[in-house]
Chains A and B, each alone.
Chain A
């Protein structure tokens, strides 16, 4: 019997901050292993939203009254919290969106619409989420540019030699995820950005699956755009972030028209507001922005290096256990991985496995994970994906594998 690894990290203390984890599902204590789909929320984040609606709620940037001033101050301070969190140079480079998907659509429509023409190429690795494929196909359709897949090998690693061969002066943009949601691969972003910049291409990094795991420095990374969702960073749904280099954002036309994004409007013509407001038409999700900042404040109080080490230990422990299960095949075996264990079990459909795990209180995701191209490459309808966060325990992983044994008994 292998002993459960010990880390210095006090996971029970952390779990007490996440009230949702303390419940039973189908009569068994919840084991939440669907963190790549959405993370759970610390009480401090929930309290911030309740506090906002209880005391400060009002529209921002408009009212000539105290509540509006207060809401505006908290909303803009949230932007500063995000800017500091990813080390952006200024708050003007932090655009609120509804999530990573909307951030990518904004860049595709605005930057892509203004900069792409027939013959141009957008490179997209084969392991991308549909959110980082479809917006590029849509703008390619409009502009005559083409979307070209960068091959990924059988371990789920981007083929860097193939990427180098594809990079030429036709390439205007490389859109790549920092971490693959389906496979867990950590992509060599810094190296890819250097290679793309060498041929004059811009780089958009989809950080949806990375942002929860380690501190980030967008200036050191030198990406042109970085996007993520609040709900995958222990914050609320409905809020996301687009970071961009200032000169690019300045040049880009507005995405949507409406209030907030204008300076003056007349029927002779309209002038647009400054960054970041140029891209924020309509009343934003003020409470969600404040909630996201509270989640970041919470993270900033923790030992994030210890959290990351704990997550790595969870992945290593789960991977070792998975390798010992007959008929289990890990999908995504890149050398560098983050907190995701995707797998198939011989002769068993992922959807059956998911339903039977749920019966035992274990929450995972099953299916193609919105990454059909990479599933097609593996020739499978989908996987079972267990994804970890710092509040997971080694016992959670033991529970997963005990539950899987039960699944095997029922399905074989």
Chain B
């Protein structure tokens, strides 16, 4: 299994998404990315890990190993889970300094589909980003 943030980087995501011509291929790719996320144990589906303000349920837990932040994320919706995988490509395994320095909105802006979905309140994307940024603060 590939590790997001290490084997799959934000640049890979931009490359891969630009390769597809049709919307359904792009969505299929995002859904498949979600399936590649390491499974989150349902024992971690606790309120403390739940991110509020999303239409679907989104969970995030994190640990700091040797100065790098590693995240475990999950959602009960497939597309949202794929979007979380894309966020992980940018943030997972990075130092707090790297997380703070990364231009996530610029990253979203560079992908047509993400530009649209990141402003959809229901997608929970911005709430996830805010949680990660506060963990890296």
Binding site for B on A (CB under 8 A): 26, 348-352, 354-356, 359, 366-367, 381-382, 406, 410-411
Contacts and interface: CB of A to CB of B under 8 A. Distances in A.
A410 B56 contact: no
A230 B60 CA distance: 41
A351 B80 contact: yes
A367 B24 contact: no
A349 B27 contact: no
A406 B24 CA distance: 9
Which label, helix, strand, loop or mixed, suits the secondary structure of the B interface? helix
26 contacts: A348-B78, A349-B56, A349-B76, A349-B78, A349-B80, A350-B55, A351-B55, A351-B56, A351-B79, A351-B80, A351-B123, A352-B56, A352-B77, A352-B78, A355-B79, A355-B117, A355-B120, A356-B79, A359-B27, A366-B55, A367-B55, A367-B122, A410-B24, A410-B27, A410-B28, A410-B31
Contacts of B24: 359, 406, 410
A207 B123 CA distance: 31
A187 B77 CA distance: 33
B76 A381 contact: yes
B115 to A, nearest CB: 13
Given A356-B79, A410-B28, 18 more contacts: A348-B78, A349-B76, A349-B78, A351-B77, A351-B79, A351-B122, A352-B78, A352-B80, A354-B55, A354-B122, A355-B79, A356-B27, A359-B23, A359-B24, A359-B27, A381-B57, A406-B24, A410-B24
Contacts of A350: 55
B55 A382 contact: yes
B37 to A, nearest CB: 16
A31 to B, nearest CB: 16
A114 B27 CA distance: 55
Interface string B78-97: 11100000000000000000
Contacts of B80: 349, 351-352
B101 to A, nearest CB: 30
Q: Contact residue range for chain B?
A: 10 to 19
Nearest to B27: A410
B123 to A, nearest CB: 8
Interface in B11-46: 23-24, 27-28, 31
Nearest to A412: B78
Contacts of B57: 381
Given A356-B27, A410-B28, A366 B79 contact: no
A332 B63 CA distance: 44
Contact of A411 (B55, B76, B78, B120): B78
Closest 9 A-B residue pairs measured CB to CB? A349-B77, A351-B55, A351-B56, A351-B77, A352-B79, A352-B77, A367-B55, A359-B23, A352-B78
Interface in B100-133: 117, 120, 122-123
Contacts of B76: 349, 381
A381 B57 CA distance: 9
A401 to B, nearest CB: 17
A58 B28 CA distance: 54
Contacts of A411: 31, 78
B78 to A, nearest CB: 5
Contacts of B123: 351, 355
Contacts of A382: 55
A38 B27 CA distance: 28
A351 B124 CA distance: 11
Given A352-B79, A410-B31, A26 B23 contact: yes
A148 to B, nearest CB: 28
Interface string B48-84: 0000000111000000000000000000111110000
A126 to B, nearest CB: 22
B121 to A, nearest CB: 11
A352 B83 CA distance: 12
A355 B77 CA distance: 11
A350 B54 CA distance: 12
With a 10 A CB-CB cut-off, give which of B24, B28, B80 has the most chain A CB atoms.
B24
Contacts of A349: 56, 76-78, 80
